[in-house]
């Protein structure tokens, strides 16, 4: 069965009082999630804005990824699968 979808993502970066804030918005067409990230420059370090952008964006992506995994686990349980804590885990392989 072939399945193709397009999800839209918007990433916003803001500089505010020595901090870089990131907000990433995901629109799946059926739901919307928002990930957030924050980076601060140590006062003793050289201020390189791109590093703050990368850290804040990466943290927002990680937050969004964790939300997506939780949503998928909820959906798996909703269709009758046992909760993740009671599912058998493989001893090796790609599944985490």
**Sign of the alpha-carbon torsion through 44, 47, 48, 52:** positive
Distance CA 64, CA 9 (A): 11
Distance CA 58, CA 84 (A): 26
Domains observed in the chain: 8-81 (3.30.160.240)
Structure tokens at 34: 């928002």
pLDDT in tens, 30-55: 899 999 999 998 888 888 899 999 99
Supply the pTM of this predicted model: 0.78
Among the ranges given (12-21, 39-48, 50-59, 74-83), the one the predictor scored with the smallest mean pLDDT: 74-83
**Can you tell me the mean pLDDT for 22-33?**
94
- 16: number of Cβ within 10 Å: 8
Structure tokens at 40: 């601060």
């Amino acid at each position: 069965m072939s399945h193709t979808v397009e999800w839209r993502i918007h990433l916003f970066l803001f500089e505010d009082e020595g901090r870089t804030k990131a907000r990433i918005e995901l629109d799946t067409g059926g739901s919307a999630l928002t990930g957030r990230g924050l980076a601060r420059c140590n006062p003793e370090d050289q201020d390189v804005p791109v590093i703050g952008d990368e850290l804040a964006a990466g943290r927002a992506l990680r937050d969004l990824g964790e939300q997506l995994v939780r949503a998928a686990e909820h959906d798996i349980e909703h269709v009758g699968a046992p909760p993740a804590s009671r599912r058998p885990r493989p001893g090796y392989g790609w599944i985490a």
